[in-house]
Amino acid sequence: MPVRPLISVAIAGFAALLGIGLVFGAETAGPGSARIPFAVVVFGVQALYVASWTKALRPPASPIVMAIGVLVALAADAGAVMPREAGLAPLAYVAAGGFVAAVLAQLVRPADRARVTESLGSTMLIMIGVVAFAMLIVLSRIPIGTQAIFVSLAAATVSLMVARLIDAVLPRPRLAPQVPRGAVGVVVGAMAGTFTAAVIGSYLVGFTPTSGAVLGLIAAGTAALADLAVGYAEAGRQMAGEPPTTWWARHMQGPLGGFALTTPLTYAISVLFLR
């Protein structure tokens, strides 16, 4: 599959918009009802995630799964904003409830019922990814959380941007003929994200260049690998004879998956090592 430079640049721009929106939303979030604007930003990203990943994974009863995903996003955001004490318990209940509801919806029609078993992983991935973004709201409510969001999402954003921009001019060496990505972009992107986090960490209270670099390395590497894995998954589906994913979902899926996977790791590191 050929590498299309304009598409790579567009994906880099999309990743930049996602990262900037989430970082600025977290930075401007305040206590109580002042968190609602950040929750609105997060919900917008969740809606994009649900739409693109449902289109790509094609679970049975996809329209219903998509609708349930949107409801799960609303409930998860409310569970992150409303409780007096920040915690993940409401988000876990919402994710479990959304998964059960989606599976039950897939059992209604016989045609969908035949594919339920093979779609369990896809359905779970959609619901967990939606709830993962709500963890940013919970993270912004703990003392070191906003700084951690800044460091990790900046690293992930730079990693995704640099990797895609390098793919536009130097997609070499190709990682696989069917995947339009180059190894140079992935490696240099992760390095650039780590360096960015180290620089940011030197200016933030509660961080040092070393702690910033460690968190940045994890965030940048995770985002880059998640974005790359999406390319391999799409190539695998096409090699299996399935029709290609709709173009907009295919190009949005990687950055959204990268941020979704980065968020739980950032939360875990913040709670276990940075508080």
Q: What is the pLDDT of residues 200-233, one digit of tens each?
A: 999 998 899 999 999 999 999 999 999 999 999 9
Residue 33: pLDDT band (50, 70, 90) is confident
pLDDT tens per residue, range 136-169 = 999 999 989 999 999 999 999 999 999 999 999 9
| C-alpha span between 208 and 206 (Å, rounded) | 7
| pLDDT of res. 1 | 67
| pLDDT of res. 111 | 67
**Enclosing H/E stretch for 176:** strand 174-176
**Around Cβ 131, how many Cβ atoms within 10 Å?**
31
| C-alpha span between 152 and 165 (Å, rounded) | 20
Average of per-residue pLDDT across 169-195: 92
The token duo for 197 is 């986090």
Please state, for a pLDDT cut of 90, what percent of the chain lies above it.
Answer: 72
User: Which SS3 state, helix, strand or coil, does residue 209 take?
Assistant: helix
